[in-house]
Amino acid sequence: MRVLIVGYFDRKHLFRNYYSVDSKLANGFIRAGHNALCFSDRDHAREATPFNTQKLGKTKMRDKLVEAAGHYRPHLIVFGHCDLIDGATYQRLRDRLAGVRMAAFNLDPIFRPKTMGDFAERAAHMDAAFITTADRKALAELGLPKGRTFFMPNPADSGIETARVFDIPREDLKFDGQFLGTGIEKREEQLDHIIAHLSKDYRFNAGGRSFNSERLTSTPFLDALAEGAVSPNLPLDDTDPAKTPYLYSSDRLGQLLGQGITTLTFAASRHSDLYEDGVMEYKDRDHLVALMEELRHDDVKRRLIGEKGYRIALERTSSTKVAEYILDATFGNDTSGYAWNTSPV
């Protein structure tokens, strides 16, 4: 099939976010035997005006999208976080392309009302919508189309995440553990607790914009990610486990598992339902610290869990699997062979 992926491919910054889910899905569709054409909506909007602003260029970008789709004639169009595209443009695409199927995906947490409202608005125009949360009760309150909204796991991609940290003894790594990511919401509070309670000789690093540290992008980010033996996949807020959405994570989870890093996940998210013993679950901050210390002293266990997580991620939630799943669910094909609940949420 011909697939058109509309998302942010970051031409402005010379493709520094090449490990984005948008790019991973393009890889996945190609590996699955399809052709994938990528349309970078924000870049086209900026480039459409001498003032280099998305707001002034969005109308011309929409016209370019319809023009590109008109000559390419995709069977499937997949939209990422495309907030510059309006309902009229989706209808123009359907009018121009008889029988085209359209899908949209969302990676953001469901407790952000503006983001979820925008996604619900996009999803209303789609044949299928995908979200990296499987919490049916929480999703039912967001106004997403019933019978057309599906859980989608964060993909790992062996062509992007190329490290194999489980192959490296802990002593040969720069850090015993680290977290690379923003410090928003309750993240820095969690990191403060970790740092305060780990042994003084535990080599822990917090970076990637937390505590006003430098933002890392492109291959230097992936290289830095692979410098730690373990990494906690910290939620934005761990203070009320009952409100933690089932299976939700940012795309960091796919990056960690894809790099072969032993990953510790918040038990309330229940990621072991998908990754089994390929992740290590912690109940609270003290439990997390205890597990990090345990893995520092048991490198055999650390490496076994890291390898299991890596292999499960690439067998069950690779970019190829997730791309095939999006296509199958959008076209109404059989999805029973995938490793997660594929019924509409």
What is the distance between the terminal CA atoms of the chain, rounded to a whole angstrom? Answer: 27
Q: What is the pLDDT, as a whole number, of residue 309?
A: 99
Residue 328 clears pLDDT 90, i.e. is over it: yes
pTM of the model: 0.96
DSSP label at residue 48: T
User: What's the distance, CA 333 to chain centroid?
Assistant: 24
Residue 112 clears pLDDT 90, i.e. is over it: no
Burial class, 71, CB count within 10 angstroms (exposed 0-12 / middle 13-18 / buried 19+) = exposed
Closest CA to 281 of 331, 241, 240: 241
CATH tag, 2-155+318-331: 3.40.50.2000
Q: Which amino acid is at 310?
A: Y
CB 62 within 8 A of CB 69: no
Residues near 118 by beta carbon (within 8 Å), at least 6 away in sequence: 83
Fold matches, 2-155+318-331 and 165-316: yes
Positive/negative CA dihedral, 335, 28, 316, 142: negative
Residue 296 clears pLDDT 90, i.e. is over it: yes
- The tens digit of pLDDT for each residue in 256-280 reads 999 999 999 999 999 999 999 999 9
Q: How confident is the model at residue 237 (pLDDT cuts 50, 70, 90)?
A: very high
Domain borders along the chain are 2-155+318-331, 165-316
Q: How confident is the model at residue 89 (pLDDT cuts 50, 70, 90)?
A: very high
Q: What is the pLDDT, as a whole number, of residue 183?
A: 86
Burial class, 115, CB count within 10 angstroms (exposed 0-12 / middle 13-18 / buried 19+) = middle
Q: How confident is the model at residue 341 (pLDDT cuts 50, 70, 90)?
A: very high
Q: How confident is the model at residue 345 (pLDDT cuts 50, 70, 90)?
A: confident
CB 292 within 8 A of CB 230: yes
Closest CA to 158 of 329, 266, 315, 328: 315
Q: What is the pLDDT, as a whole number, of residue 300?
A: 99
Q: Which residues pair with 232 in a beta bridge?
A: 264
Rounded to whole angstroms, the Cα distance separating 321 from 25 reads 9
Q: What is the pLDDT, as a whole number, of residue 209?
A: 85
**Domain 165-316 homologous superfamily, CATH:** Glycogen Phosphorylase B; (3.40.50.2000)
